[in-house]
Amino acid sequence: MKRFEYARAGSPSDAVRRFRPGTMYLGGGTNLVDLMRLGVAEPDLLVDVSRLPLDVIEPVGDRLRVGAAVRNTDLAADPLVRTRYAMLARAVLDGASGQVRNMATVAGNLLQRTRCAYFQDVSRPCNKRRPGSGCPAIEGDHGNLAVLGASDACVATHPSDMAVALAALDAEVHVTGPGGDRIIPMPGLHRLPGDEPERDTVLEPGDLITAVELPAPPPGASTYRKVRERASFAFALVSIAASLDVGSDGVVSGCRIALGSVAHVPWRAERAERLLIGGPATGAAFLEAAEAELDQARPLPRNAYKLPLARNLIVATLEELAP
Amino acid sequence: MNRVEGRVKVTGLATYAAEYPVEAVAYAYPVQSLVAKGRIVRVHDAEAREMPGVLAVLSCEDPPRLAEDADAELALFQSRDVAYRGQIVAAVVAGTYENARAAAAAVRVEYDPDDHDVALRSDHPGFYRPDVVNPDYPSDTVKGDVEAGLAGAAASVDVTYSTPVLHNNPMEPHAAVAVWDPEGRLLVYDSTQGASPDRDTIAQTFGLPREDVRVVSRHVGGGFGAKGSTRPHAVLAALAARAAGRPVKIALTRQQMFDVTGYRTPTIQRLRLGADAGGRLTAVEHVAYEQSSTLVEFAEQTATPARVMYATPALRTAHRLVRLDVATPSWMRAPGECPGMYALESAMDELACALGMDPVELRVVNDADAEPEGGLPFSSRNLVMCLREGARRFGWRHRDPEPGVRREGEWLVGTGVAASTYPARRRPARAFAFVRDGDYVVQVAAADIGTGARTALVRIAADALGVPPDQVHVELGDSDLPEAPVAGGSMGTASWGSAVVRACEELKRGDGKEGRADTTDEVGNDARLARHAFGAQFAEVRVSSVTGEVRVPRLLGVFAAGRIVDPQLARSQFIGGMTMGLGMALMEETLTDEEFGGFLRRDLAQYHVPACADVPHVEAVWLDEQDGELNPMGSKGIGEIGIVGTAAAIGNAVHHATGHRVRDLPLTPVKILSRF
Amino acid sequence: MDITLKVNGTPHAVDVDPRMSLLDLLRERLGLIGAKKGCDHGQCGACTVLIDGRRANACLALAVAVDGSEVTTVEGLAKGDDLHPLQAAFIEHDAFQCGYCTPGQLCSAVAMLGEPGPSAVTDDLALDPELTPEEIRERMSGNLCRCGAYVNIVKAIAEAAP
Partner residue facing A227 (CB), from B549, B612, B666: B549
For the segment A184-211, the average pLDDT, to the nearest whole number, is 98
Range of the domain at A244: 221-321
Domain end, chosen from B231, B260, B289, is at B260
Rounded to the nearest 10 degrees, what angle do helices C85-92 and C150-160 cross at?
A: 140
- Angle ∠(A123,A127,A132) on CA atoms, nearest 5: 100
Show residues of chain A in contact with B587, CB under 8 Å.
229-230
Show residues of chain C in contact with A93, CB under 8 Å.
118-120, 122
> Residue B419: which of B394, B398, B390, B379 has the closest Cα?
B390
CA distance B651 to B36: 34
Handedness of CA B325, B326, B327, B328 (dihedral sign): negative
CA distance A20 to A206: 7
Same domain, B469 and B533: no
Q: Confidence class of residue B269 from pLDDT cuts 50, 70 and 90?
A: very high
Percent of chain B with pLDDT over 90: 99
Tell whether B122 is covered by a domain.
no
- pLDDT tens, position by position, B577-616: 999 999 999 999 999 999 999 999 999 999 999 999 999 9
Q: How many CB atoms lie within 10 A of CB B164?
A: 21
CA distance B178 to B182: 13
ipTM over 0.90: yes
Tell whether A114 is covered by a domain.
no
The SS3 of residue A272 is helix
Rounded to the nearest 10 degrees, what angle do helices A283-294 and A306-321 cross at?
A: 150
Please indicate if any CB of chain A lies within 8 Å of the CB of B50: no
CA distance B300 to B334: 10
Q: How many CA atoms lie within 13 A of B436 on its CB side?
A: 10
Q: How many CA atoms lie within 13 A of B186 on its CB side?
A: 31
Same domain, C94 and C59: no
The SS3 of residue B575 is helix
Catalytic residue among B350, B389, B483, B640: B640
Tell whether A31 is covered by a domain.
yes
- Cross-chain residue pair A93–C41, CB shorter than 8 Å: no
> Residue B217: which of C101, C31, C73, C98 has the closest Cα?
C98
| Confidence at residue B676, expressed as pLDDT on a 0 to 100 scale | 86
Surface of A (294-323) touching B: CB under 8 A: 305, 308-309, 312-313, 316
Residue A179 to chain B, least CA–CA distance (Å) = 35
CA distance B328 to A195: 40
CA distance A73 to B94: 39
Q: From the candidates C19, C30, C93, C94, which should be mutated to test the interface with B, based on the most B CB atoms within 10 A?
A: C94
Domain end, chosen from C19, C41, C76, is at C76
> Which residue of chain C is at minimal alpha-carbon distance from B642?
C148
- Cross-chain residue pair A309–B548, CB shorter than 8 Å: yes
Same domain, B276 and B320: yes
Provide CB contacts within 8 A for A301, sequence distance 6+.
Answer: none
- Cross-chain residue pair B10–C90, CB shorter than 8 Å: yes
CA distance C93 to B6: 11
B400: left (phi over 0), alpha (psi -120 to 50) or beta: beta
- pLDDT tens, position by position, B161-178: 999 999 999 999 999 999
Rounded to the nearest 10 degrees, what angle do helices B337-355 and B567-586 cross at?
A: 70
Which H/E stretch holds residue A23? strand A23-26
Residues C162, C113 contacting (CB under 8 angstroms): yes
Q: Confidence class of residue A311 from pLDDT cuts 50, 70 and 90?
A: very high
Tell whether B4 is covered by a domain.
no
Provide CB contacts within 8 A for A217, sequence distance 6+.
Answer: A84, A85, A169, A243
- Cross-chain residue pair A115–B606, CB shorter than 8 Å: yes
- Cross-chain residue pair C151–B251, CB shorter than 8 Å: no
Percent of chain B with pLDDT over 70: 100
Same domain, C51 and C68: yes
At A108, give phi and psi (nearest 5°).
Answer: -65, -40
- pLDDT tens, position by position, A283-308: 999 999 999 999 999 999 999 999 99
Q: Give me chain A's average pLDDT, please.
A: 98
Residue A91 to chain C, least CA–CA distance (Å) = 8
Residues A50, A29 contacting (CB under 8 angstroms): yes
Give all chains having 3 or more CB-to-CB distances under 8 Å with chain C: A, B
Tell whether B14 is covered by a domain.
no
Tell whether B668 is covered by a domain.
yes
Please indicate if any CB of chain A lies within 8 Å of the CB of B128: no
Residue C9 to chain B, least CA–CA distance (Å) = 16
Q: Confidence class of residue C162 from pLDDT cuts 50, 70 and 90?
A: confident
- Cross-chain residue pair A82–C112, CB shorter than 8 Å: no
Same domain, C69 and C90: no
Same domain, B350 and B302: yes
> Which residue of chain B is at minimal alpha-carbon distance from A303?
B670
Residue B129 to chain C, least CA–CA distance (Å) = 34
Same domain, B245 and B272: no
Say if residue B355's pLDDT is above 90.
Answer: yes
Surface of A (226-285) touching B: CB under 8 A: 227-235, 237
Residue C111 to chain A, least CA–CA distance (Å) = 9
Q: Measured over all CA atoms, what is the biggest interatomic distance in chain B, rounded to whole angstroms?
A: 77
The amino acid at residue B226 is A
Same domain, B487 and B590: no
Please indicate if any CB of chain B lies within 8 Å of the CB of A141: yes
- Cross-chain residue pair B612–C150, CB shorter than 8 Å: yes
Same domain, C11 and C32: yes
For the segment B224-248, the average pLDDT, to the nearest whole number, is 98
- pLDDT tens, position by position, C34-44: 999 999 999 99
Please indicate if any CB of chain B lies within 8 Å of the CB of A124: yes
At C50, give phi and psi (nearest 5°).
Answer: -100, 125
Residues B33, B82 contacting (CB under 8 angstroms): yes
Percent of chain C with pLDDT over 70: 100
Partner residue facing A98 (CB), from C41, C61, C108: C108
- pLDDT tens, position by position, B64-90: 999 999 999 999 999 999 999 999 999
DSSP B19: G
Tell whether B12 is covered by a domain.
no
Looking only at the bridges linking them, the beta strands covering A172-177 and B439-443 are unpaired
- Cross-chain residue pair B673–A309, CB shorter than 8 Å: yes
- In angstroms, how far is the first alpha carbon of chain C from the final one? 41
Say if residue A17's pLDDT is above 90.
Answer: yes
Say if residue B5's pLDDT is above 90.
Answer: yes
Q: What CATH number should be reported for the domain holding residue A259? A: 3.30.390.50
CA distance A312 to B420: 37
Same domain, C111 and C129: yes
For the segment A124-133, the average pLDDT, to the nearest whole number, is 98
> Which residue of chain B is at minimal alpha-carbon distance from C135?
B613
Please indicate if any CB of chain A lies within 8 Å of the CB of B614: yes
Partner residue facing A232 (CB), from B32, B611, B669: B611
Q: How many CB atoms lie within 10 A of CB B589?
A: 23
| Confidence at residue A78, expressed as pLDDT on a 0 to 100 scale | 97
Tell whether B325 is covered by a domain.
yes
Q: How many CA atoms lie within 13 A of C96 on its CB side?
A: 36
Residues A232, C138 contacting (CB under 8 angstroms): yes
Residue A28 to chain C, least CA–CA distance (Å) = 8
Same domain, B178 and B162: no
For the segment C41-61, the average pLDDT, to the nearest whole number, is 98
Please indicate if any CB of chain A lies within 8 Å of the CB of B254: no
Looking only at the bridges linking them, the beta strands covering B378-380 and B530-544 are parallel
Same domain, B436 and B403: no
> Residue B574: which of B633, B636, B529, B521 has the closest Cα?
B636
The string over B555-581, giving b where at least 16 C-beta atoms fall within 10 Å of a residue's C-beta and e elsewhere, is bbbbbbbbebbbebbbbbbbbbbbbbb
Provide CB contacts within 8 A for A41, sequence distance 6+.
Answer: A24, A32, A35
For the segment B200-206, the average pLDDT, to the nearest whole number, is 98
Domain total in chain B: 3
| Confidence at residue C116, expressed as pLDDT on a 0 to 100 scale | 81
CA distance B433 to B461: 9
The SS3 of residue B163 is strand
Partner residue facing C98 (CB), from B99, B450, B613: B450
Tell whether A275 is covered by a domain.
yes
Same domain, B516 and B534: no
Q: Is B640 a catalytic residue?
A: yes
Please indicate if any CB of chain A lies within 8 Å of the CB of B587: yes
Show residues of chain A in contact with C110, CB under 8 Å.
none
Range of the domain at B466: 430-524
Same domain, C43 and C26: yes
CA distance B486 to B518: 16
CA distance A94 to A230: 12
Domain total in chain A: 2
CA distance B39 to B505: 58
Partner residue facing A30 (CB), from C42, C111, C122: C42
Q: Confidence class of residue A226 from pLDDT cuts 50, 70 and 90?
A: very high
Show residues of chain C in contact with B251, CB under 8 Å.
37
Q: How many CB atoms lie within 10 A of CB A130?
A: 14
> Residue A41: which of A123, A120, A133 has the closest Cα?
A120
CA distance A160 to B218: 42
Compute the radius of gyration of chain A from its Cα atoms.
19
C67: left (phi over 0), alpha (psi -120 to 50) or beta: beta
CA distance B372 to B141: 11
Domain end, chosen from B216, B238, B260, is at B260
Show residues of chain C in contact with B573, CB under 8 Å.
97
Give all chains having 3 or more CB-to-CB distances under 8 Å with chain A: B, C
Same domain, B29 and B154: no
Residue B573 to chain C, least CA–CA distance (Å) = 8
Same domain, C17 and C70: yes
Say if residue B675's pLDDT is above 90.
Answer: no
Q: What CATH number should be reported for the domain holding residue C156? A: 1.10.150.120
Q: How many CB pairs under 8 A join A and B?
A: 89
Same domain, B614 and B478: no
Q: What CATH number should be reported for the domain holding residue B620? A: 3.30.365.10
Q: Cα torsion at B138, B140, B141, B142 (round to 10°)?
A: -160
- pLDDT tens, position by position, A75-109: 999 999 999 999 999 999 999 999 999 999 999 99
Strand runs (DSSP E) across B294-372, as ranges? 315-324
Peptide bond between residue B666 and the one before it cis (omega within 30 degrees of 0) = yes
Domain total in chain C: 2
